[in-house]
Amino acid sequence: MKRSRFTEEQIIGILKEHQAGLGAKDLSRKHGASDATFYKWRAKFGGMEVSDARKLKALEAENAKLKKLLAEQMMDVSTLKEILGKNF
C-alpha cells in the first residue's frame, strides 16, 4: 500500500483550514494535493481530532492483522479437511 505524503496531523490541519472558510480547490492547490484527495480526506477524517485519527489508524491496522490471521486459519482448516477426506 502506498504511504501518504501527509500525516494525520497535517490532514486534519488542512481540514480545519477548510472549516475556517477556505475553499477546497484553494487548499488543494496550496498543499499540493488533488481535489479528489481532499474530498477523500474529508469523508474519512471530517470532524476528527488528531487523537481520533491515530485511534482509527491503529484500529485499521489491527483489523488488517486479524483478517490475515483469520484467512490463514481458514486455509489451515481447509487443508486439514482435504487431508482427512483423502485418508478415510
Q: What is the CATH number of the domain that holds 16?
A: 1.10.10
Name the residue with higher pLDDT: 74 or 3. 74
This prediction has a pTM of: 0.62
The pLDDT, as a whole number, for residue 3 is 64
Q: What contacts 38, CB < 8 A, 6 or more positions away? A: 14, 18, 24, 27, 28
Domain presence at residue 45: yes
Domain presence at residue 3: no
pLDDT tens digits along 24-73:
898 989 999 999 999 999 998 888 888 888 899 899 999 999 999 999 99
**Of 84, 8, 6, the residue nearest 44 (C-alpha):** 8
d(CA 6, CA 68): 27
Domain presence at residue 2: no
Domain presence at residue 32: yes
Cβ proximity of 51 and 9 under 8 Å = no
Enclosing domain of residue 29:
8-87
Domain total in the chain: 1
Domain presence at residue 37: yes
Cβ proximity of 61 and 1 under 8 Å = no
Domain presence at residue 36: yes
